[in-house]
Amino acid sequence: MLSYSDPDIKITAAKGKSFIVTDSIETILKKKTDISAYAKVIEERAFLQYKQKDHIAYIKGVSDNYLSITRIDSTLNVGTWLDYDFVNTGVVGFGIADKLSLGILNFGEPLQVRVPKPGKGLIFSESSAFNTANIQVVGVYTGLEEFANKYVFVNLPLAQQLLNYKNNQVTSIELRLKENVAAPSFAKSLQEQLGNGLQVQTKTQFNAITFKVLNTERLVSYLIFTLIIIIALFNVIGAIIMMIIDKKQNLRTLFNLGVTIKEIKKIFVLQGFLLTLCGLAIGLIIGVVLVFLQKQFAFFMITQTIPYPVEFRILNVLSVVLTISILGFLAAKIASSRISVTFIEK
């Protein structure tokens, strides 16, 4: 989901908010054959005002090749992406548009963006405290709630004007890598070349909190479904016990013929284990088929444009097989423990 909004690699200042893109930095990036494209970005908090409504969000000034970095244009709900022939155009998130009652191409009254001016001293008027720009909204994008409430995308020159930045001053450089390039090793190599003044992060690193939440949810989901399986396996235990009771006369015959209690127990352990394996096989087949169908046809959608993301991992299959096999074997073992000499001879 993050591929729609986030780059593969982001370069930011190690200290402070912004840095100067020098010729040496440009040379390093251009020589890197693993880079598909890179774009200069300015990001800062801003006050938004439309008619009588206010909101605080982030303005994100992007260069004209930004669509080669992310697929943000595919999340547009209405309107179009930024028109680079006109500086004062913007694309807002659906959440911002909803809070401010914004529509596209409202020529009557533009969206007003205000950013505090840097500097020291007393503030005597609003104009001396803020840099202001009027923006014509040309598009509205959708996405996850946090993302849809966060950004107003504008052209890079407008963001530089609002923040009093120089032409080569940015808050980050966002990179898109070519296919099959390992982002962690690339980031490490690039970090060594750029030095300690800049910070190079992968998508996983600058979204560390998001990935931690996802991994925690994954673990909790595994534990919850394991609990459900344990409860379901009580049915297996009950079924085996009922079968043992039903076959009591047959068990007595086997015992009198010389079959030991241990061997009789093995019969029901094997039967219970095979029953578990049959259920496991059916469940895995259905699950794997659903995953591949979702990847191919996108039956389930998060938004109108973003399908629910799924991925087939053999490690997940192995963990499911191992968990259910162990629990199924224990369930069969518990059920067969009811068999004893006293039980058979009663």
Q: Domain spans of the chain? A: 2-206, 212-345
Based on C-alpha coordinates, what's the Rg of the chain?
31
Condensed to tens digits (0 to 9), the pLDDT of residues 300-332 reads 887 777 788 888 999 999 999 999 999 999 999
How many Å apart are CA 13 and CA 196, to the nearest integer?
9
Helices and strands (H and E) in the chain: how many: 12, 12
Query: Residues 6 or more apart from 28 whose CB is under 8 A from it?
Result: 190, 193, 194
Split at pLDDT 50, 70, 90, the class of 210 is: confident
Return the percentage of the chain with pLDDT > 90, whole number.
Answer: 42
In 10 A of CB 52, how many CB atoms? 7
Condensed to tens digits (0 to 9), the pLDDT of residues 29-39 reads 999 999 999 99
Token representation of residue 269: 């352990």
Quick one: 24 exposed, middle or buried, by C-beta within 10 A (0-12, 13-18, 19+)?
A: exposed
- 153: closest CA among 64, 69, 62, 86? 62
In terms of pTM, does the model score above 0.75? Answer: no
Burial 184-193 (b: 16+ CB within 10 A, else e): eebbeebeee
How many Å apart are CA 5 and CA 7, to the nearest integer?
7
Q: What is each CA distance from 74 to 77, 110, 255, in whole angstroms?
A: 8, 25, 71
| 10 has pLDDT over 70 | yes
Query: Residues 6 or more apart from 246 whose CB is under 8 A from it?
Result: none
| 278 has pLDDT over 80 | yes
How many Å apart are CA 335 and CA 234, to the nearest integer?
9
Quick one: pLDDT at residue 1?
Answer: 64
Condensed to tens digits (0 to 9), the pLDDT of residues 90-116 reads 999 999 988 988 887 766 688 899 988
